[in-house]
Amino acid sequence: MKKILVCIKRVVDYNVRVRVKPDESGVMLDGLKMSVNPFDEIALEEALRIKERGTNAEVVAVSIGVADTQQQLRTALAMGADRAILVQTDQPIEPLTAAQTILAVVRKENPDLVLLGKQAIDDDANQTGQMLAALWDRPQATYASKLELDGAKATVTREVDAGLETIEVDLPAVVSVDLRLNEPRYVKLPDIMKAKKKPLDVVSLESLGVAPAVWLKAVKTQPPAQRQKGVMVKDVAELVDALKKKGLI
């Protein structure tokens, strides 16, 4: 294992409560705290643990987005990534364009393993990893809750509807990680200071030969319906009767 590429996305921090714009054209982002997508943070933590187990693999963090995305890449460097790459663009990036962009980086970097979160918490698309594997023509393993490497193979335990599924894939491969894989480390101040000296390269979509395409259009964004007040029941019979009246059973 010589190199691991970890894809991260800049998203609104999961502790922040977002509000819908008055014209319902999207959510209000001005002034909100932005962070590394939590699932991608788990992917980065796994890459660092693989490195620390004695593989001496180089961990490269890559992201696509506006100039301010450097903040999230610096966080990745502070966690322990060796270097970072920002594909800078002010245009909204859909999953297919993201996969094409990462593929261009993959062809330059030639990693043995590509790790990323199973989905981003802003759009919940859960598509980029699968598209990347298809475009790269390499094996994929999604929803990983356990990852073991043995030479040129990886054994991945996946979380599926029926329980857990264990598969083996040849490397290089794309692995998207789930919540239970690990718990990311806490970034300390000395690590943040060291991260400022680590290399962070900025490239453009054009230099990678990628032209962003718009396939989806958000017609309207609405907040979730307000939760209705609960009803207390005395016993099971009253509960069943209440459910029947609502047409739920």
Q: Return the pLDDT at 110.
A: 95
Average pLDDT, the chain: 92
Q: Return the pLDDT at 162.
A: 86
State the virtual CA torsion across 78, 148, 153, 43 in degrees, nearest 10: -30
Q: Return the pLDDT at 208.
A: 93
**Which residues lie closer than 8 Å to 133 by C-beta, 6 or more apart?**
139, 140, 173, 174
CA gap 86, 69 in Å, rounded: 7
Tell me how far apart the terminal alpha carbons of the chain are, to the nearest angstrom: 55
Q: Return the pLDDT at 69.
A: 95
Amino acid at 189: L
Q: What is the β-pairing status of strands 200-204 and 163-170?
A: unpaired
Q: Return the pLDDT at 202.
A: 96
- Stretches where the chain sits below pLDDT 70 are none
Q: Return the pLDDT at 22.
A: 87
Residue among 86, 91, 137 at smallest CA distance from 114: 137
- For the chain, which domains are there? 3-223 (3.40.50.620)
Q: Return the pLDDT at 242.
A: 86
Q: Return the pLDDT at 1.
A: 78
Q: Return the pLDDT at 30.
A: 84
